[in-house]
């Protein structure tokens, strides 16, 4: 079937481009056989357009509507439960991996920074300060550098920049002792040789020795 | 014909487009929306099936099968971007063709362009008695006569005629639905019209001779 032969169909069913239509109408004027064919097709087509719709029996339509209520609910609930199951599985996987990641990062943080910080803070302080300086037990530093328990406890606090403060926790009579402790602790500090190594460390312990 | 219980369909449903109704049915399980969709399209879908099958009971079964699939598959396979009725028609068409192929009720009558058989179309037409008898439907004479002639067309020609005339489906869409090129779809329509013209002429001659 050539495209040319089908043109009479596209013409009578109005599916031609305007330019094609003009050209075809010119052909119709010159070709009487084509004109007869198109007219007869039009005639049959008009008869076909008289075809009336046939309606399904009412009970069939009602049955389908009844099925729509039950089947669609059932089907969408099964789809819903499938999605719910998938969502639940996703949440469980997410939570599990989240907890795992959190644990591992906490572990590493504790190992690398947190515990190091706290540990080092405590150990440094413990090293720097004699026993019980940070404890809640009353302590006092003796002339030999030993803290006695009568002295009020120093409770250092760490601000949001991870700077440990204890200058406001000292009693005036302990200042000299604390100063000597600071001096002692400063001697333990070593200069940083490779600053790039500390770049990845997120939390730092800053010892401040300022006094107000 | 509207559905019996359609008096409680709110007027705004009637003003909605198919895609809005489909959305309401899919997302909100709105039965009224589905009822409105049925009201709009059931007669055309049924007419297509019936004209292809020419048997009331089988047409009823295929019609039910079609809409059962529509209800259950709408959430899975229908893409709201496309025309809903084209999707429904595809289901109806596939179900109808499946049935025809299973039953092998129809003798394949290729039109006169078949040069291999070297036979005229009418020589290859089966006896009218061998074609499924028309159901005694309450159809007017002209519709009944038209359907009888359409029923005598080869399946692929009948498909194009029905899709074009009941649905005013463009030939491009018919070609897509039936998995053929647009030229083949147009060719089938052309042969269908040629064959129908012959049938009408013959009928007219018979009427004249009876007078």
ipTM of the complex: 0.70
- Taking the alpha carbons at both ends of chain A, their separation in whole angstroms is 103
Average pLDDT over residues B7-25: 78
Average pLDDT over residues A144-164: 63
pLDDT at A201 over 60: no
Residue A193 tokens read as: 């040789």
pLDDT at A199 over 70: no
Q: Which of B43, B55, B67, B134 to mutate to test the interface with A (most CBs of A within 10 A)?
A: B67
Number of neighbours of residue A169 by Cβ within 10 angstroms? 16
Instruction: Name the most confidently modeled range: A147-156, B50-59, B105-114.
Output: B50-59
What residues of chain A lie within 8 A of the CB of B85, using their CB? none
Categorize the per-residue pLDDT at A15 as very low, low, confident or very high, splitting at 50, 70 and 90.
very high
Asked if the Cβ–Cβ distance from B190 to A6 is below 8 Å, we say: yes
Smallest Cα–Cα separation from A156: which of A125, A112, A189?
A125
Average pLDDT over residues A46-65: 87
HSE at residue B179, side-chain half, CA atoms within 13 A, is 4
The model's pTM is: 0.56
Q: What is the pLDDT of residue B8?
A: 54
pLDDT at A34 over 80: yes
Distance from CA of A63 to the nearest CA of B (A): 8
The model's pLDDT over B18-42, given as tens digits with 9 standing for 90+, comes to 888 888 888 888 888 999 999 999 9
Listed in sequence order, the residues at least 6 apart from A179 whose beta carbon sits closer than 8 Å to its beta carbon are A211
SS3 content of chain A, % helix, strand, coil (to 5): 65, 5, 30
The model's pLDDT over A123-144, given as tens digits with 9 standing for 90+, comes to 444 444 444 444 444 444 444 4
Between the alpha carbon of residue A183 and those of residues A10, A147, A154, B142, the distances in Å are 102, 17, 18, 116
Q: Is B54 helix (H, G, I), strand (E, B) or coil?
A: coil
Q: Are A207 and A151 in contact (CB under 8 A)?
A: no
CA-CA-CA-CA torsion for B15, B17, B21, B24, nearest 10 degrees?
A: -100
Distance from CA of A28 to the nearest CA of B (A): 17
Average pLDDT over residues A83-110: 72
The model's pLDDT over B63-99, given as tens digits with 9 standing for 90+, comes to 999 999 998 888 777 777 778 888 898 899 999 989 9
Listed in sequence order, the residues at least 6 apart from B152 whose beta carbon sits closer than 8 Å to its beta carbon are B109, B125, B128, B131, B195, B199
> Residues 182..211 of B with a Cβ closer than 8 Å to A: which?
183-184, 186-187, 189-190, 193, 196-197, 200
Q: Which residues of A106-121 are buried (b: 16+ CB within 10 A; e: fewer)?
A: eeebeeebeebbeeeb
Q: Is B9 helix (H, G, I), strand (E, B) or coil?
A: coil
Residue B119 tokens read as: 């036979």
Q: What is the pLDDT of residue A115?
A: 39
pLDDT at A21 over 70: yes
């Amino acid at each position: 079937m050539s495209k040319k032969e089908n043109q009479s169909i596209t013409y009578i069913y109005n599916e031609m481009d305007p330019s094609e239509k003009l050209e075809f109408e010119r052909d119709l004027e010159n070709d009487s056989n084509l004109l007869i064919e198109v007219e007869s097709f039009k005639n049959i087509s008009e008869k076909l357009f008289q075809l009336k719709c046939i309606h399904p029996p009412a009970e069939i339509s009602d049955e389908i509507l009844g099925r729509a209520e039950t089947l669609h609910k059932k089907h969408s609930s099964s789809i819903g439960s499938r999605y719910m199951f998938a969502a639940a599985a996703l949440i469980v996987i997410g939570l599990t991996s989240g907890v795992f990641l959190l644990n591992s990062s906490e572990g590493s943080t504790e190992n690398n920074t947190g515990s190091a910080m706290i540990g080092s803070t405590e150990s440094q302080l413990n090293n720097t300060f004699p026993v019980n300086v940070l404890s809640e037990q009353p302590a006092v530093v003796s002339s030999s550098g030993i803290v006695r328990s009568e002295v009020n406890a120093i409770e250092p606090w760490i601000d949001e920049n991870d700077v440990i403060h204890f200058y406001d926790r000292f009693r005036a009579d302990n200042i000299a002792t604390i100063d000597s402790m600071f001096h002692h602790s400063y001697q333990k500090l070593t200069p940083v040789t490779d600053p790039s190594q500390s770049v990845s460390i997120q939390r730092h312990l800053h010892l401040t020795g300022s006094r107000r | 014909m509207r559905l019996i219980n359609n008096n409680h369909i709110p007027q705004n449903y009637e003003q909605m487009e198919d895609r809005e109704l489909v959305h309401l049915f899919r997302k909100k399980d709105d039965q009224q929306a589905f009822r409105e969709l049925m009201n709009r399209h059931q007669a055309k879908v049924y007419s297509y099936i019936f004209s292809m099958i020419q048997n009331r009971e089988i047409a009823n079964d295929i019609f039910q099968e079609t809409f059962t699939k529509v209800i259950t598959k709408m959430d899975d396979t229908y893409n709201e971007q496309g025309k809903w009725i084209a999707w429904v028609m595809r289901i109806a068409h596939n179900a109808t063709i499946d049935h025809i192929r299973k039953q092998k009720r129809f003798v394949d009558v290729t039109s006169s362009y078949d040069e291999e058989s070297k036979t005229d179309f009418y020589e290859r037409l089966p006896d009218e008695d061998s074609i499924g008898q028309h159901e005694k439907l309450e159809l007017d004479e002209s519709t009944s006569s038209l359907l009888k002639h359409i029923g005598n067309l080869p399946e692929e020609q009948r498909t194009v005629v029905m899709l074009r005339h009941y649905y005013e489906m463009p030939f491009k869409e018919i070609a897509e639905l039936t998995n053929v090129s647009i030229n083949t779809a147009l060719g089938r329509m052309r042969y269908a019209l040629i064959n129908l013209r012959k049938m009408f002429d013959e009928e007219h001659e018979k009427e004249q001779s009876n007078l």
